[in-house]
Structure 1
Amino acid sequence: MLSEQSTATVRATLPAVGAAIGDITELFYAKLFAAHPELLRDLFNRGNQNAGLQKRALAGSIAAFATHLVAHPDQRPDVMLRRIAHKHASLGVTRDQYRVVHRHLFEAIAEVLGEAVTPEVAAAWDEVYWLMANALVAIEERLYAGRRVAAGDVWREWTVTGRTEETADCTTFRIAPADGSPAPAHLPGQYVSVQVELPDGARQIRQYSLSTAPGSPVRAITVKRVHGPAGAGPDGEVSHHLHARVAVGDTLRVSLPHGDLVLRDSAAPVLLASAGIGCTPMLSMLEHLADTGHGAPVTVLHADRSPADHPLRADHRALTHKLADATARFWYEESAGPGDGAGRLDLADVPVAPGTEAYLCGPLPFMRSVREQLLAKGVAAADIHYEVFGPDLWLASA
């Protein structure tokens, strides 16, 4: 994939680019939003931008892609690319936007690295960029074609048909297409993007997992109200808007479902581990397993602050009880009841069947801990799948 000449140049300059990638992405976003303020207003998550999370995720993905190309010039890191492509498809990203990104990114590279960016260096990193960009475009266009829509045409009007306060900070919204058409098919574990118009006129977008199974007659999202630290900017502005302003009968702009963390069609034992609001894709998977009569062992694990903070706790237990061979274990940092674990999720006395397929969703430290424990119990790395809410910082923090 990467030419021999560019491979040598990228290998030689990767340490310098890697060391400066934080400054490069910082300047890139400044240039991008100065030229296209509508992108920050209506496409990019302002909370993640303010907290620096998107910058870290972009830096991590560029560095990981370039490192992979240098080590394996004839291969692509398809798992990483699919994850990014699904997120882009849920936002309606199109081919033309990659040219806009290219212009401002390479201006930032040239400005930060200065005379070190010779024509040879620029050409090599240009090749890296377009290998990544074109691979993403190809995956995204296949995703659009699979939905039988034009590239970027993912948005539809949906009506809120029900609302349930699950906990003090979590609310479930049941939604249906406003035009009365059937809800688009989804796979267990996928998410939708929801765009709302905020008081300042911005049309901000957030992703929320569908917490119902594909066979369910309803579609639902469960939204946790995000409380950012004082002075941290607009973190949580969409979740607060949904909680405070959206009622039954209101209309939301919702994307077609996407997401690459989906339950595999397999007869293997399954382990579903979540923390906090990370239970929502797990609930969709669990309901699907119950609907299809999955016969192999299913282990359901969840960690939360307290039973009162555990969203959809009753559904978690009820769906587990529908399966022929399933167990549920919950851990709580506060107010753990009889049969519950106290503190953090601990797999020490949890049986894990051979050949288990594991699915994880929650904060990054939680997933790292669970993954390490599963590996120690003999679960193959290839059989451990994860979902991160927000920018994927796994690579950025590696």
Structure 2
Amino acid sequence: MSHPVSPLAPKTLPSLPVIEGVVIATAEAGIRYKGRTDVLYVGLAEGTRVAGVFTRSKCPSAPVDWCRSALEGGSARALVVNSGNANAFTGAKGAQAVSRTAEIAARAAGCATGEVFVASTGVIGEPLDASKFEGVLEDCAGRARADLWQEAARAIMTTDTFPKLATRTIELDGAEIRLNGIAKGAGMIAPDMATMLAFVFTDAPVAAAVLQEILSEANARSFNCVTVDGDTSTSDTLLAFATGKAGIAEIADAQDPRAKSLAIALEDLLVELAQLVARDGEGARKFVTVRVVGAVDDASAKRVAISIANSPLVKTAIAGEDANWGRVVMAVGKAGEPADRDRLSISFGDIRVAKNGARDPDYSEEATSAYMEGEDIVICADLGLGDGEARVWTCDLTKAYVEINGDYRS
């Protein structure tokens, strides 16, 4: 069933530029949805390099297993993504479906099956009928175009209420380098490696090993800092493809200054996509940034931030526009990280509500209540113990989240 577009959605969608070596087509294969596209095909130029990070779930989907294996080859010629069926927890049938999908796509793209990457999203536990791709992928390959980025983002949506796209342009060696990204995700969001599904494309010539290094580092500071409901998907996949068509020398060393510039642009793009995921959290009405400072180290700060961001009590308080700092205290205390009650200070936006383990003497209920009515909320917890800091993005928890997930398989 469809849901109203999130009030936190961007007012306009970005127009993504063409990236040489990338062509796109979408199709309706009737996998689960009726009257909408549910298959994305991306053709990639010969010589395209690939990198990826995947879910750490101990129950990964068949497509995740396939991509992990294919990644060892370092090159890609096609990407196939379907929505409506995750092809997860489907046993031997799942592996066979992925293999068959790759065979069909390889024939359409004129490449080896090991150069095909496959991702699926949707219901877990339902076998995927790969025969639905017969004829569809060949047709897609024949009519693929370079300018269908919005269509690509829409084809991979499940409970998403808007397509998620981002783009960046930088200059390297006098050439314009482009990066485009699309993502999907609204629920079952607490990445433990990558994200729901996300795909990034660039025309930069980058060795696979370098691309892998900068992607993993950028992911750690972007998608691994977003949570909607604390649940890590079986299917989380983030893939980056570099066609090498920009006309400059290959970036073969991660210490190359050009690699650093590319890494900065990539992280910036992934941060935007990660925030869009939180803004489209199922039933979300508030976009929340959780900052933790003064921790013993950055890793400890992040664990505390995640504890706050995943707390149903904190998230429902935000939904009710209640600056209930007691729930933040609870989330800090349960995180299992070093904390000192009498050094803890908490702020909502620029308003400090608690200081050194007690209510701030300058606390204003009126000012805080007015702040909580906004769409963008910032919670900051200062532990007062060290220099560690972290930030995580999430959303509030509303009745609509229960309704959406209660009806998910209906």
TM range (shorter): under 0.3
TM-score by length of 2: 0.26
Structure with greater strand share of residues: 2
Structure with greater helix share of residues: 1
